[in-house]
């Protein structure tokens, strides 16, 4: 199915910005400000490296940069809010100022979300399932976009229970519908909300696959669907690949999500995802192909 066309309103100068989603998939590039990631070697935090990474992802086709100061990986401890702000706020400010791109910030802490919005972020990506309702109140006050993700686990907690869901797709739908309603009661307009079904979060690989097979009901909620499928555990379980070797599986999940009408894809490998979507769009007749399209000689052979 084609992605339903929806409007997303986010924070920004002059009353905020507007994204019209649904015509083509939107890519959200991932930048880990902490240097800690489940899918990459641990690195010392570096503002310079974060800016360079964001610049590269934008050049490759990312329309949104998602900056996280605390990894969702359970192998490390949660950061104090003050430390997370030190990592995130300067990077948000520089990326917005130098690249002029929409920035979302991956956090479940109100203080971090406030500092991120002060620094110029447009969206708060709350991976806690809106456990802290003050996040919604803040987004309502600032006009910021709000990602509501499904999870049954607390942040930094791994929950794998094969008996947790009777019908995972239905339960995810109902959870997101309820949290969306609550966000509305707290002042968040529907047009500010994105919905993330939460692949792998409090889900076994089997449950994630079942969930992604049954995405269609989420469109009934009328909001854009964000797919955070990059290098996820369910792909590793299916392919027996470590995180950095899961690109092919990620692209397969991207194809499925696009076919299911998802709007935004959160990915590490933006260039590969953009190339994949371009060729897919051309072959499906969704992308115009000029009659004089030709391969430049410099790209015909490897030197």
What pLDDT is attached to residue 2?
Answer: 75
What φ, ψ does residue 192 adopt, rounded to 5°? -90, -10
| Confidence (pTM) | 0.94
DSSP class per residue in 8-38: EEE--GGG-EEEEESSSPEEEEEEETTS-BT
pLDDT at 74: 74
- Nearest residue to 155 (alpha-carbon basis) of 117, 202, 123: 202
Terminal-residue alpha carbon distance, the chain: 41
Which stretches of the chain drop beneath a pLDDT of 50? 39
**Element (H or E) spanning 90, and its range?**
helix 81-99
pLDDT of residue 15: 61
Give yes or no for a contact between 152 and 202, defined as CB atoms under 8 angstroms apart.
yes
pLDDT of residue 13: 66
By annotation, the residues acting in catalysis are: 232, 266
Residues 227-258: tens digit of each pLDDT: 999 999 999 999 999 999 999 999 999 999 99
Phi/psi region, residue 156 (left: phi>0; alpha: psi -120 to 50; beta: rest), is: left
92 Cα distance to chain centroid = 16
């Amino acid at each position: 199915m084609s992605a339903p066309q929806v409007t997303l309103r986010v924070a920004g100068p002059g009353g905020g910005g507007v994204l019209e989603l649904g015509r083509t998939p939107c890519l959200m590039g991932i930048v880990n400000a902490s240097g800690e990631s489940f899918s990459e070697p641990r690195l010392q935090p570096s503002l310079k490296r974060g800016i360079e990474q964001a610049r590269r992802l934008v050049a490759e086709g990312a329309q949104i940069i998602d900056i996280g100061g605390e990894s969702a990986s359970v192998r490390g401890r949660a950061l104090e809010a003050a430390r997370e702000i030190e990592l995130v706020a300067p990077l948000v400010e520089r990326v917005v100022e130098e690249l002029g791109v929409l920035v979302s910030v991956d956090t479940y802490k109100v203080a971090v979300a406030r500092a991120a919005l002060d620094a110029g972020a447009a969206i708060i990506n709350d991976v806690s399932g809106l456990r802290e309702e003050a996040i919604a109140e803040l987004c309502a006050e600032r006009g910021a976009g709000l990602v509501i993700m499904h999870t049954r686990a607390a942040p930094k907690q791994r929950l794998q229970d094969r008996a947790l869901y009777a019908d995972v797709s239905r339960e995810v739908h109902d959870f997101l519908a309820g949290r969306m309603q609550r966000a509305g009661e707290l002042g968040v307009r529907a047009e500010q909300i994105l919905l993330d079904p939460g692949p792998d979060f409090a889900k076994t690989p089997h449950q994630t696959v079942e969930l992604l097979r049954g995405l269609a009901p989420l469109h009934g909620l009328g909001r854009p669907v964000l797919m955070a499928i990059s290098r996820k555990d369910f792909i590793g379980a299916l392919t027996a690949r470590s995180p950095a070797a899961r690109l092919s599986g990620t692209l397969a999940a991207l194809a499925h999500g696009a076919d299911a009408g998802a709007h935004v894809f959160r990915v590490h490998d933006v260039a590969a995802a953009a190339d994949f979507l371009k060729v897919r769009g051309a072959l499906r007749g969704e992308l115009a192909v000029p009659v004089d399209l030709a391969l430049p000689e410099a790209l015909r052979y490897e030197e």
